[in-house]
Every structure is written in C-alpha cells, then in structure tokens.
Amino acid sequence: MKTSPDYLPNLISLLVVAMMGASILTLLPLWVGALSEQGHFTSQEIGWLAAADVMGIFISSASALLWVRRVPWRNVVLGGLLLFFLGNIASLGLTEFGSLMSARIIAGIGCGSAYAIALAGLGDHRSPPLAFGLMVTAQVVFGTIGFFAVPRIMEFAHINGFFHYLNGWLALALALCALAFPRSQKQADTALHRRGLRGLAHGRSLLVFATTVVYYCGVSAVWAYLERIGIHLGLSGSQVGDLLGIGFAISGLGSLATPWLSTRIGRTAAISLAMLVQVATMAWLIGGVGGTAADSAGSYLLYAGATIVFQFFWSFSLPLLMDQFNRVDDSGRFIVLCASAFKVGEIIGPPLAAMLMGEGNVVAVLWLGIACMAVTLAMAATTETRPAARTSSPVGEPC
C-alpha cells in the first residue's frame, strides 16, 4: 500500500475526513433550525449549542500544531472519527442543555483531531491547490445532499435525523480510512517542535490568523441564522432548505473562479470584490426583512438571490485566506491552525448572534456580518501589502 497522499485511495480518504471536519458548519442552519423547532432551549442556549462542536474541534485542532507530524496518522484519525460517531449516538434524544453541550464538545474533539491531520495530508499533496479544490467539491456534495435530505429525514426522526445523517457519512469515512490512509510526508523537526508556537508567532502570521477569525465570526453568525432569516421572510422550512442546498451546490464554482480571477485582477482586488459583494447580499436581506419584498414571490426571489450569491463568494473568499496561511510557514505546521482560526470564529459568531438577535431581531445578525466583512477586508489587504515570508504558491481552492 502506497503511503503518499498522491495515491488515489489515500487522497479519497483524506477528502472524506476533511469533509466531515467541516460537516457541522456546513449544516449549521439546519442544526440551529432543528434546535429552535424543538422548543427545549432558550435562544442563548441554542447559540452555545451551535458552537459546541466547534469548541471541541478547536481544542484538538489547535493542539495539532505540536503533534501533527509526530503521531501515526491512521490510528489517530480512526480514533477521532470513532469518538465523533459515538458523540452523535450519545446526543440522540438529549433535551437537557448541559448533557447535549457536553456530548457535542466530545464529538468535536474527535472531529478536530481527524480534521487537522486531513488538512496536513492535503497540504502534503504534490499540488495543494488541486487537493484543496477537491476538498471543497467534497464539502459541496455533502452539503448539497444534506440540505435536501436532512429536512426530510427529520420529518420522521425529528432532531435525531441530523445525527443519523452525520453517522451515515462517518461510517463511510471510517471504512475508507481503515483501508487506505497516507503517512506524513514531512519529518518532525525536533527543534521546531521544541519552540512550539514561538517560531510561528510573528506579526504576519498573527495577522493572517486574526483575519480568518474575524471573517468566520461574521460568516458563521449569518450562516447559523440564515434558515431563521428565511422563515422570518415568510418561506417554509422546505423552501429554505432547498434554496440553501441549491446555493451550496452553486458555491463550488466560487472556489474554481478564484485562481482564474485573482491572477487577472490581483489578490487584493479579488479579496475586496468578495467582501463587498457579501456585504451587498446582507444589506439586501436587511431590506427584505424591513419590508422591501412586498409579497411572497418577492421574498422568495430576494432570499434565493441573496443566499446563493452569499454562498458563492464565501467559497470564492476561502482560497485567498487559505493561501495566506500557506505562505507564512515552511514546516507544514501552520496550516493546521487554519482549522483553528475557522473554529475560533465559529465559537464566537453564533453565540454573539444569538445575544444580538434577542427576540427575533435578525437584522442585528446581518449588521454583525457586515461589520466583520469590513474588518476582514482591511486586515487582509494589509497582509497583501506586506512581503511574503517565502515564495507564494499559486492561489488554490479552500479547505
């Protein structure tokens, strides 16, 4: 059995693991919607439950900076996926906040350990842009199927249907990893690992990390309540799920457009375009919630257009932010903190949105998203004006 991530069976197993690493964020609107419909939790508790998996993922993925090049990858991935699977089983039927919160954090710890290794493995591929592009495609497939399937599964299994969907994919991931999974292609440098974070904690790397945190704070806040925004506009749950699924399927084209457009207009202009368009979609939704859409057909078209464009430019933005991580470190360790930056933003975003939302004030959530996009643009543009620490790789698709 070949041990390289370039070997097709190994690459497929990496892609499925990385897909599951983003699974909770991918289906976050359905998770928040299911918790809201269940009626057992307050608005603030729902916000924390939306971030619970992310907390666990952050704990394990952040620590991966120290161990990702020093452990047997297959064993850790299998253990992490199994813990994720068991955490989902433990969550079935739970209606008490503390118990469900604990189960989701444990599931997230397992998910994050596997996710960090998958990111490192994809970064070892001979063509990281291609590997990350395939990863986006896998995530799009997972999300597209989920937005159509999960609401229908939950009609029969209620909130437990969400966990059944995750575990179906996790069973596939476990089987693939047991049969084929690569080894690290980079040796652990003892001196580098002794220094830990100190070797990477310079101004440029901290700015890159902070930029992604702010961006994902805004994205996850809006994404978590996008289903609720659609309901607020008068759409049915199935309409919202179908539109989010269509938008997610189309969003894969965004990551394909990034390398093409960024080479023609420049990285800074591409980042500016992505942030400004996302701001425009959120402003459009604010107008709709405020009464711009006069009828149900108008609300449907407004929500469809805004959410599809928002998701397209979300995928468009990620390659640009991911490439900044890839340009500040040669040791192959900093890339795992990309996942941690995502998760810090996701930990902050939904609870903050829940606090601002209060008694159904979805407009406040959209204003939070707009503010985060503006700050992200300023920070990312600052990074682009500084010289790279090493020769940049071509802009590729996101993780």
Residue 207: inside a domain, yes or no?
yes
- Decide: 335 and 120 in contact? Cβ < 8 Å: yes
Whether 361 shows a pLDDT value over 50: the answer reads: yes
Residue 55: inside a domain, yes or no?
yes
Going by pLDDT thresholds of 50, 70 and 90, the confidence category of residue 141 is confident
Q: What is the pLDDT of residues 120-133, one digit of tens each?
A: 888 788 877 677 77
Q: What is the CATH number of the domain that holds 371?
A: 1.20.1250.20
Residue 3: inside a domain, yes or no?
no
Residue 162: inside a domain, yes or no?
yes
Going by pLDDT thresholds of 50, 70 and 90, the confidence category of residue 106 is very high
Measured from the Cβ of residue 278, the count of other Cβ atoms closer than 10 Å reads 29
Residue 368: inside a domain, yes or no?
yes
Q: Which residues lie below 8 Å from residue 9, measured CB to CB, with a gap of 6+?
A: 176, 179, 180
Task: Annotate 349-386 with DSSP letters as a single string.
Answer: HHHHHHHHHTTT-HHHHHHHHHHHHHHHHHHHHHHHHS
Whether 336 shows a pLDDT value over 60: the answer reads: yes
Whether 302 shows a pLDDT value over 50: the answer reads: yes
Q: What is the pLDDT of residue 74?
A: 92
Q: What is the pLDDT of residue 390?
A: 47
Least confident among 72-86, 216-230, 234-248: 234-248
Whether 139 shows a pLDDT value over 80: the answer reads: yes
Alpha carbons 298 and 302: distance in angstroms, whole number: 6
Whether 378 shows a pLDDT value over 90: the answer reads: yes
- Decide: 11 and 5 in contact? Cβ < 8 Å: yes
Residue 99: inside a domain, yes or no?
yes
Q: Average pLDDT of 284-290?
A: 84
Per-residue CA distances from 109 to 83, 88, 166, 245 (Å) = 8, 12, 15, 27
Tell me which of 388 and 247 has the higher pLDDT: 247
Residue 241: inside a domain, yes or no?
yes
Q: What is the pLDDT of residue 237?
A: 76
Q: Which domain holds residue 366?
A: 8-184+201-385
Question: Tokens 């004030």 appear where?
Answer: 361
Q: What is the pLDDT of residue 284?
A: 92
Nearest to 245 by CA among 308, 158, 310, 164: 308
Q: What is the pLDDT of residue 189?
A: 53
Q: What is the pLDDT of residue 392?
A: 39
Going by pLDDT thresholds of 50, 70 and 90, the confidence category of residue 200 is low
Going by pLDDT thresholds of 50, 70 and 90, the confidence category of residue 323 is confident
Domain count, the chain: 1
Going by pLDDT thresholds of 50, 70 and 90, the confidence category of residue 395 is very low
Going by pLDDT thresholds of 50, 70 and 90, the confidence category of residue 398 is very low
Least confident among 94-103, 276-285, 339-348, 375-384: 339-348
Q: What is the pLDDT of residue 251?
A: 85
Q: Hey, which of 59-63, 242-246, 301-305, 347-351 has the most confident mean pLDDT?
A: 301-305
Residue 196: inside a domain, yes or no?
no
Q: What is the pLDDT of residue 371?
A: 96
Going by pLDDT thresholds of 50, 70 and 90, the confidence category of residue 12 is very high
Whether 399 shows a pLDDT value over 50: the answer reads: no
